[in-house]
């Protein structure tokens, strides 16, 4: 996985058909997804429950691009090796998930995975300033985590501030929550390069009508790229 600042669309399979993940992953990748975003929720850090390591391991052979695993769990450290063994490429923990994010990022990188740090809407950019040398990706939440299909919360100023702090480090800025063709230009212009989109990609499509996923992915990508030079 080489560093690349171009716009990448990462559909969240939280909005996929839960009875059919293999085909759903294949459909979004065939239709132009750059990464596949997997939302892990524990019913404790967030008020919802989704997947654990065995499910992530089952997704692995279907993902030909990048498996981007977003952990909305606390604690994180006891589970890092399990997600490495399950085949995650990028593992992102929340800075709010515990007092030792520095140690968590070191532990993620020690497994060979890329390390991400996520910030809730109420958390300032400065919370990750001293973690940037240990981080491959900063995930700016534009909804309060826990559910797909929520309304975008404007975090544009935070994204600009982070891009400034990151400087010339090879660190992605990912946006997660409420990304669609109307909100993607705001965050792309502010310096984000990975756009997670769940409902905006899956709406109206299915594995038997996958071209809708392609149309939806192209619409988000075109809107984001439209504001870059």
Ligand X SMILES: O=C(CO)[C@@H](O)[C@H](O)COP(=O)(O)O
List of residues contacting Fe ion (CB under 5 A): 39, 70, 176
Q: Is 182 annotated as a binding residue?
A: no
| Measured CA distances, 120 to 55, 65, 69 (Å) | 25, 26, 16
Instruction: Report the nearest approach of ligand X to the CB of residue 44 (Å).
Output: 14
Instruction: Report the nearest approach of Fe ion to the CB of residue 87 (Å).
Output: 18
176 is catalytic: yes
Q: Is 39 annotated as a binding residue?
A: yes
Q: Residue 68 in contact with residue 92, Cβ under 8 Å? A: yes
**Which of 8, 37, 114, 158 forms a contact with ligand X (CB under 6 A)?**
37
Q: Which does 179 bind (CB under 5 to 8 A by kind): ligand X, Fe ion, none?
A: ligand X
Long-range contacts of 133-136 (CB under 8 A, 24+ apart): 133/169, 134/102, 134/105, 134/106, 134/109, 135/105, 135/171, 136/90, 136/170, 136/171, 136/172
168 is catalytic: no
**Maximum CA pair distance of the chain?**
47
Q: Which does 15 bind (CB under 5 to 8 A by kind): ligand X, Fe ion, none?
A: ligand X
- Spatial distance between the Cα atoms of 54 and 73, rounded to a whole number of angstroms: 16
Any contact of residue 174 with ligand X (CB under 6 A)? no
Instruction: Report the nearest approach of Fe ion to the CB of residue 227 (Å).
Output: 23
Any contact of residue 123 with ligand X (CB under 6 A)? no
Q: Is 215 annotated as a binding residue?
A: no
The sheet with strand 67-72 has its strands ordered as 8-11, 194-197, 172-176, 137-141, 114-119, 90-94, 67-72, 36-41
Which residues bind to ligand X, rule: CB under 6 A? Answer: 12, 14-15, 37, 39, 70, 143, 145-150, 176-179, 196-200
Binding residue ranges for a divalent metal cation: 37, 39, 70, 176
Give the residue ranges of the annotated binding site.
12, 37, 39, 70, 146-149, 176-178, 198-199
Please report, in range form, the residues annotated as the binding site for substrate: 12, 70, 146-149, 176-178, 198-199
């Amino acid at each position: 996985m080489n560093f690349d600042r171009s716009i990448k669309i990462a559909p969240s399979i939280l909005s996929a058909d839960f009875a059919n993940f293999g085909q759903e992953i294949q459909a979004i990748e065939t239709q132009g997804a750059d990464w596949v975003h997997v939302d892990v929720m524990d019913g404790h850090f967030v008020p919802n429950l989704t997947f654990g390591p065995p499910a992530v391991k089952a997704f692995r052979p279907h993902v030909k691009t990048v498996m981007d695993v977003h952990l909305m769990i606390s604690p994180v450290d006891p589970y890092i090796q399990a997600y490495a063994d399950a085949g995650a490429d990028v593992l992102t923990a929340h800075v709010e998930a515990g007092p030792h994010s520095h140690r968590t990022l070191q532990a993620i990188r020690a497994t060979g995975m890329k390390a991400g740090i996520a910030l809730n809407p109420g958390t300032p950019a400065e919370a990750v300033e001293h973690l940037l040398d240990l981080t491959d990706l900063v995930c700016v939440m534009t909804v309060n985590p826990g559910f797909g299909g929520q309304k975008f919360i404007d975090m544009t100023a935070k994204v600009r501030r982070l891009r400034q702090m990151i400087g010339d480090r090879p660190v992605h800025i990912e946006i997660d929550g409420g990304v669609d063709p109307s909100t993607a230009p705001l965050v792309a212009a502010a310096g984000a390069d990975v756009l997670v989109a769940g409902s905006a990609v899956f709406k109206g499509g299915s594995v038997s009508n996958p071209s809708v996923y392609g149309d939806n992915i192209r619409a988000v990508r075109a809107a984001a790229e439209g504001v870059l030079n």
